[in-house]
Amino acid sequence: MSSYNEGTYDCTIMGQGFGTAGEKQTPYFGIEVLPHKYYGADGGEFTVDAKFTRTVKLWMNSDSNVERSSEYLTDLGWDGKYKDLEPGGECDLTGKTITLVNKHHETEDGKVWDTFEFPFRGEALSTIANDNSIAAKLDRMYKPSKAKKATAATTTDEETPF
């Protein structure tokens, strides 16, 4: 269940390891975190008296997911050998502080869960494919003439109803 507000947190890494999730047993690398600082929407910073850890899942089920997950792990000091990420391995992330974003996720039965994840990287992609011909057609069809603007803007005393 949700126990943390949505927003940005600094979290301490408490543990790590590989696992699977869901019906399809999707592989992931998990980072167990404990939030300790919350950044409010107004810019304020608040200490968190965290009682519950959360697991960040870095999915390892496709080339793009492995690439994205590897980028996050490299930023944390990982050298590229997955075996080193196992508990007790060469790359122990425990104790490091990372910044994560918590978003709430509501299930079909109405329960709300925390979903901690790394902040979005990259550029926002536009989902609108621009068609230049539409703007050009509108300009041809509805272009206001300067004469109409001038006439509408100037009135004589005889035209004024009062």
Render each residue's pLDDT in the chain as its tens digit; 162 residues.
668 988 999 999 999 999 999 999 999 999 999 999 999 888 889 999 888 999 999 999 999 999 999 999 999 999 999 999 999 999 999 999 999 999 998 888 989 889 899 987 765 555 677 777 877 777 787 866 655 555 555 555 555 555
- Parent domain of 109: 7-117
Asked if residue 123 belongs to a domain, the reply is no
Asked if residue 143 belongs to a domain, the reply is no
Please tell me the total count of domains within the chain: 1
Asked if residue 125 belongs to a domain, the reply is no
Question: Which CATH number do you get for residue 97?
Answer: 2.40.50
The position carrying tokens 């869960």 is: 113
d(CA 34, CA 10): 9
Helix (H, G, I), strand (E, B) or coil at 5: coil
What dihedral angle (degrees, nearest 10) is formed by the CA atoms of 34, 38, 39, 45? Answer: -130
The pLDDT of residue 139: 77
The pLDDT of residue 38: 94
Asked if residue 37 belongs to a domain, the reply is yes
Model pTM score: 0.70
Asked if residue 26 belongs to a domain, the reply is yes
d(CA 27, CA 9): 25
d(CA 28, CA 65): 10
Asked if residue 149 belongs to a domain, the reply is no
